[in-house]
Structure 1
């Protein structure tokens, strides 16, 4: 049965002229209206004939920390690559950098998103000021949280690893490698990041379940500051000879490793950390860390853009999956 413009218009609840403008790329249609038309066309079986090049540019606001952190540098590279790859779909991501210690500043940036963008991608703390604004934005556009989620009352799609399972994997690897050593330091990152808390919980749980001889000797609240974490680790290693492992949930790996090796010359702790970056790859090759749990930030960026495109009817098939597998990387796997 032939699908007509009139049938698509009835299904979408718009005029035939609007359908014509979308399908024939005449422009002057909002992103939401275009979305309804494209989804209706595909629902009616017109999708296999859709070769529409949208005329309206979809603008995605990406709120994340500045790329001084190697993880965020790779994430920024991922969005740059996604902009090139998805250019025919007329979509572009624009990064705006935030200070995670200043939720009021993040909230002010979020106030501008609804007026200037068509989608929000965010890597931010789940504090009340931020989540209140995100809930308001989610009524108007798709919201994607990367790497660390928001609470269940905040509508959003999550892209990233299952952080609880990532913490369990870190605990499993740590437990197997510790040998007779018994104490582990956990570098906790930011308590306002749900993903960091979930990693902590998973790590503790698997040690309690399967490696009772190994315990968490302390949690260092680093505030995502590598130098502060390294100084605290140096004191802990000096004061407690039973500490034989370090699990770094967040950034600052180079500073932490340098201090740990300086204190424990010839008998460094087992070190498990996250995110395969140029820094952690070098540390692996040098044998200064034991395993890196990688979540592929370039893929995370691409998946976030795919979710936005699917929301606006600019891609076919089912909605892309949000979970990104965690990959343990050892030196011999490089």
Structure 2
């Protein structure tokens, strides 16, 4: 079955109507958005005469980069993909294109199938957000055994020797979040943690960094066991509701990963929204909304779009120039955002 406009829309974080306007040349779409949609459509193999006419004509394609992004529809990973597609747009004239695969919720079996497809398609490099599973590491060793560079983006993978890693220093980011907590909470306060899944080694390290700092502090914080939401709003609503009903005296929630909309709704329904403090990661729409409406104390930004852009650029530098990154790890700075960060001033 061919790729659909809905799938292109999900990848680019736009509506199906916007995709339709771009692919059928109806206008009314910002240039950068239109180019991102065209690049996504080409990478996914969407075939239309109008699309072919819209893309720049280049010589025969020499290099193909396999892109595998998990958590389809998740704003954070959508931003990573947007950065990748923007970088690919700038490389079309240099005979580099992308083959895009999207998985859901770190589904290991799905990722394994998609990686097999990439091997069959003879990709020249891979950039992915992997599930942290030994089978994924074993599969990726098939790529490295063929001298195909593998760039890991954002999501850590244990026991694998990657070409490079681009993302957040997860342990440090947890420590930074805990440093904020020490500034705004009094001794003895009760803290709840919402995380995604143990399949994400990076988020586990973030939680470890967070708890290490607070357990070493002299304020005697009460830290509840983390609850998993699997980046799913429905699961986040259920788990946060249950936790809130059992602990009406929670002073702060630390949202270490996604499922934000469900979590905020749960806090509102249980009467804790606006009463407890919240520190969260990422500049997704619900996070920014609740920050600017006084329900969130601070957000921590990991710059996902730049992560995606740099991943593709590193691969391109290697394919075109055989240039290797000066360091195998490229860490994005953790940016602390407060309400005033989103205030327009003259």
1:245 equivalent among 247, 252, 271: 252
1:172 equivalent in structure 2:
179
**Structure 1 residue 115, shift from structure 2 partner:** 3.2
Distance 1:292 1:134 in 2: 34
* Structure 1 residue runs without a partner (length 5+): 1-52
Distance 2:218 2:68 in 1: 39
- Larger radius of gyration between Structure 1 and Structure 2: 1
1:79–1:93 contact (8 Å) kept in structure 2: no
2:104 equivalent in structure 1:
99
Verify: 1:125 aligned to 2:131, yes or no: yes
Cα distance change on mapping 1:240 and 1:317 into 2, 3 Å: closer
Deviation per CA, 1:276-318, whole angstroms, max 9, x where unpaired?
1233222221222221111111101111012102222437695
1:16 equivalent in structure 2:
none
Cα distance change on mapping 1:66 and 1:243 into 2, 3 Å: closer
* Structure 2 residue runs without a partner (length 5+): 1-57
Cα distance change on mapping 1:122 and 1:208 into 2, 3 Å: same
RMSD of Structure 2 on Structure 1 (CA): 2.3
**Structure 1 residue 206, shift from structure 2 partner:** 0.8
- Pairing 1:79-158 to 2, within 5 Å after superposition: 79-100=84-105, 102-116=107-121, 117-140=123-146, 141-158=148-165
TM-score w.r.t. the length of structure 2 is: 0.75
2:61–2:97 contact (8 Å) kept in structure 1: no
Cα distance change on mapping 1:279 and 1:300 into 2, 3 Å: same
TM-score w.r.t. the length of structure 1 is: 0.77
2:193–2:256 contact (8 Å) kept in structure 1: yes
**Structure 1 residue 160, shift from structure 2 partner:** 0.2
Cα distance change on mapping 1:198 and 1:104 into 2, 3 Å: same
3-state SS of 1:323 partner: strand
Cα distance change on mapping 1:88 and 1:107 into 2, 3 Å: same
1:134–1:154 contact (8 Å) kept in structure 2: no
Distance 1:190 1:73 in 2: 19
Distance 2:247 2:272 in 1: 15
Verify: 1:322 aligned to 2:330, yes or no: yes
